[in-house]
Amino acid sequence: MLMPKYATALQLAADDPRIRGERIEYDSPNGAGKQGKKMGGYLVRPSNAKGRIPAVVIVHENRGLNPHIADVARRAAAAGYLAFAPDALYPLGGYPGTDDEGRALQSTRNGAEMLEDFIAAVELMQKHAESTGKVGVTGFCFGGGICNQLAIRVPTLGASAPYYGAAGAEADAAKVVAPLMCNLASSDERINAGYPAWEAALKKAGKDVTVHSYPDTQHGFHNDTTPRFNPEQARLSWNRTLEFWDKHLG
Burial 135-146 (b: 16+ CB within 10 A, else e): bbbbbbbbbbbb
- Contact call for residues 69 and 44 (beta carbons, < 8 A): no
Sign, Cα dihedral of 46, 250, 149, 186: negative
3-state secondary structure 81-139: CEEEEEECCHHHCCCCCCHHHHHHHHCCCCHHHHHHHHHHHHHHHHHCCCEEEEEEEEE
- Rounded to an integer, what distance in angstroms lies between the CA atom of residue 205 and that of residue 244? 21
The pLDDT tens digits along the chain (250 residues) read: 455 666 556 788 899 999 999 999 999 987 545 555 899 999 999 999 989 999 999 999 999 999 999 999 999 999 999 999 999 999 999 999 999 999 999 999 999 999 999 999 999 999 999 999 999 999 999 999 999 999 999 999 999 999 999 999 999 999 999 999 999 999 999 999 999 999 999 999 999 999 999 999 999 999 998 899 999 999 999 999 999 999 999 8
pLDDT score for 9: 64
pTM: 0.94
> Could you say which DSSP state residue 174 is in?
G
- Note the pLDDT of residue 104: 97
Residue 50's CB is within 10 A of a number of other CB atoms, namely: 6
Beta bridge partners of 42: 23, 85
* CA 52/CA 126 separation, integer angstroms: 11
Distance of CA 64 to the CA centre of its chain: 11
Angle (deg, nearest 10), helices 142-153 and 111-127: 60
pLDDT of residue 1: 43
